[in-house]
Amino acid sequence: MNKTEHVNIFDLPDFLVEELGIDTEEPLTFFVGDPDMIKVLERIEYFCLYEYEGTTYIISTADSGDCADDIFIELLDKFVEGSEFWENPDHETWDAYDSADIAIAFRNGSGYNYSIFEYTEPLDLTKYYWI
């Protein structure tokens, strides 16, 4: 299994900026189009998974250490690790995504169709101040 590392889009190491062709003046343009998305209640973060030299980089706008963002980082770790708590329901529709409290819309940066994953483990969301 690859090592996993979270990287904020505003703090990308130079090699990732080069590899991905990130506009350092406007890094959020990287997520323009149809990005992968994680939703916790009504808050949505965009993310991208990128494999490079044995490491899976999870690129997002989430900041480690910010309690509002820590939940996204924790859940994305579980998703990348293939946690059994992420279920892919039989009905892959935007209705399934919209009705879930915690969900991921994932196409891994390519194609037109998203796979919808819903998080099923009980999770105490009250420890996050933005809820």
pTM confidence score:
0.83
Q: Consecutive sets of 10 residues in the chain, 131 residues long: mean pLDDT of each?
A: 86 91 89 89 90 92 76 88 77 82 86 85 69 51
Q: Give pLDDT, residue 90.
A: 66
**CB neighbourhood size of 4 (10 A):** 14
pLDDT at residue 42, rounded to an integer: 83
Q: Residue 129: its pLDDT value, please? A: 56
pLDDT tens readout for residues 33-66? 889 999 988 889 999 999 999 999 999 988 776 6
Structure tokens, 52: 């490079």
**What token pair was written down for 63?**
């900041």
For tokens 């900041």, name the residue. Answer: 63
Inter-CA distances, 53 with 4, 23, 24, 98, 109, Å: 11, 22, 23, 35, 18
Q: What is the pLDDT of residue 13?
A: 92
